[in-house]
Structure 1
Amino acid sequence: MAQEPGRSTDTAAARDPAALKGVVELFTSQGCASCPPADAALKHLIEDGSVVALAYHVDYWNYLGWADTLATKENTARQYAYARMFGRNGVYTPQAVLNGRDHMNGGNLSGIRLKLAEMKDTGKGIRVPVEVVRKGDEIDISIGAGDGKANIVVVYFTRQQVVDVETGENSGKKISYFHAVRDIQTIGMWDGKPTRYVLPATVLDEEKDSGCAVLVQKMKSTEIPGAIIGATTLYSAATP
């Protein structure tokens, strides 16, 4: 369902996998001069409403003179895990990982859209339905049926923040960041059968303008992620 960054809902209806274009995980940094176009591209993907889009701020550019205020070591670790999966020796920004299967420059909006469409047409898109509903003090997560096994990963994010970058490569810029990831949690495993999990609603109440994405993600090994085959997004109540 369509969702603009400035609007919210406390229910994520069951996503028809055929209607979901895919999942884009952007690895970005406030200290990277090449990243602002990718941050803007992510905003367009969020506004599209049919893409689960997440921004993972990494910390390895902090030495350039500006410590990213949204970066976490866990975000950096996730990017390095993807690098091992892709057989790469290093990482880069801005990097967009698509459906956990491929990657490209995060500023290439048209290329990202074309690649997601290609993946969908070739059976590498989203195929497992995911529903997330907030019911009082609980968040109810339902995963539909499918094939194989996968982890159920919940990614918590802040929907929108504006940062005044004072030093470094983007010195003097005021940049809006969307869906900046603040925590990642694996809550269980899916074995191809319909599965339900319940989380306390307080996981979103920590921030008034927060949300979470639920990802059904296959794993190459204990530490290396693989294809994302199911996903959806839940937003907290709107900030007054």
Structure 2
Amino acid sequence: MLRRCIACFSRAGASCDRSPKVDSNPDAKEIEELDEEEPQQLDPESKKSSAPRGPKVGGGSSQSAVLVELFTSQGCSSCPPADLLISQLGQAKSSDVALEVPIVVLGFHVEYWDFMGWKDPFANSTWTLRQRNYGQALQQDSIYTPEVVVQGRSHCIASSLEPILALIHQAPRFAAPDITISFKLETEPERVLDTTMEAIIKFKVDKFTLDIMVALYENGLVTNCQKGENKGRILTNDFVVRSIAKAATLHDWPARKTVREHFKLPLWDTFNRTKCGAVVFLQNPSTMEVYGAQMVPLPEDLP
């Protein structure tokens, strides 16, 4: 049986703790569940089917990394520890991290806590929609922060390392595609990365849809939070998704047939190549299942 997913929605005089209530833990705090009229509540009638559709799990050494996504907010007091945890996980800096498989980490900042006094500068309603799509695909009752989604197939609260590592080690892995990407900076009429991609998908896309997604993330972001639950704290964030594009959508695509696409990745005013990286991941838009991810270096000649 699926456990009941949780969310917290602070009101005047109420504390906002986003850790689950566990009877055996005397320090656990009660969670206030979202009211039905709140926008974060998921519609049970709109939950997507969990019927598996996609390629077979790959074998051998040439397998893609596992995609680990964090949904977070600077407006949530429970998120800074999770942000640090995921940053350490992504950079393998924690002595507690014992990964047997490669991972790729992305952080999506949601905007539904902005009303609490601090507007997250990296929040985007598109990322909230992405989290809602996961909530429906994973048959959650509601969405919450900080939430980790692993390979688009499982989720947990990002409050401790052990459950995240368990989901990573349990996640299926698939044959890694061959990806070649070139980037060229354009400044007129707007700043974008003019991008050309060639990809060879090692499995057949049959009776399902496959999106090839490309995301740009930024590391080393430091924010002096002056309002809200985190008032007075210096917040640090890594692997923050700043831009994303759908490079290609495949239907009935033979294995090992080359995909060639040209597209543009929007940039932000403070883009600095030395703090950024790119990630390519494969995803079924119907089930939200991810079939692998890999890092792509940005060229050194970018400013």
TM-score, normalised relative to structure 2: 0.64
Question: 1:11-30 maps to which residues of 2 (within 5 A)?
Answer: 17-18=62-63, 20=65, 22-30=66-74
The yes-or-no answer on 1:196 pairing with 2:259 is yes
Letter in structure 2 aligned against 1:145: K
- Residue of structure 1 equivalent to 2:211: 151
Give the whole-Å Cα distance in 2 for the aligned partners of 1:130 and 1:44.
28
Which of 277, 285, 289 pairs up with 1:219? 285
RMSD after superposition? 2.7
Partner SS, residue 81 of structure 1: helix
- Residue of structure 2 equivalent to 1:57: 109
Partner SS, residue 226 of structure 1: coil
- Residue of structure 1 equivalent to 2:136: 84
Which of 92, 103, 111 pairs up with 2:155? 103
Paired residues in the alignment total 216
Q: Offset at 1:75? A: 0.6
Give the whole-Å Cα distance in 2 for the aligned partners of 1:203 and 1:77.
19
- Residue of structure 2 equivalent to 1:31: 75
Contact 1:140–1:198, Cα closer than 8 Å, also in 2: yes
Higher RCO, 1 or 2 (CA under 8 Å, sep at least 6)? 1
- Residue of structure 1 equivalent to 2:4: none
Give the whole-Å Cα distance in 1 for the aligned partners of 2:260 and 2:266.
14
Give the whole-Å Cα distance in 2 for the aligned partners of 1:202 and 1:150.
19
TM-score, normalised relative to structure 1: 0.79
Q: Offset at 1:169? A: 0.9
Stretches of structure 2 lacking an aligned partner (at least 5 in a row): 1-60, 93-100, 185-193
Give the whole-Å Cα distance in 2 for the aligned partners of 1:204 and 1:150.
25
Structure number with greater Rg is 2
Contact 2:133–2:288, Cα closer than 8 Å, also in 1: no
- Residue of structure 2 equivalent to 1:4: none
Deviation per residue, 1:112-140 (Å, 9 max, x gap):
12221122xxxx22434242443777543
Which of 11, 24, 45 pairs up with 2:89? 45
Question: 1:60-139 maps to which residues of 2 (within 5 A)?
Answer: 60-119=112-171, 124-134=172-182, 138-139=195-196
Contact 1:132–1:233, Cα closer than 8 Å, also in 2: no
Q: Offset at 1:167? A: 1.0
Give the whole-Å Cα distance in 2 for the aligned partners of 1:188 and 1:109.
34
Identical residues among aligned pairs (%) = 28
Deviation per residue, 1:3-38 (Å, 9 max, x gap):
xxxxxxxxxxxxx64363x11010000011111111
The yes-or-no answer on 1:228 pairing with 2:290 is yes
Deviation per residue, 1:140-183 (Å, 9 max, x gap):
34232113341111222223311111111111111211111122
Greater percentage in strand: 1
- Residue of structure 1 equivalent to 2:15: none
Give the whole-Å Cα distance in 2 for the aligned partners of 1:204 and 1:141.
21
Give the whole-Å Cα distance in 1 for the aligned partners of 2:62 and 2:158.
23
Contact 2:76–2:230, Cα closer than 8 Å, also in 1: yes
Stretches of structure 1 lacking an aligned partner (at least 5 in a row): 1-15
Greater percentage in helix: 1
Letter in structure 2 aligned against 1:40: L
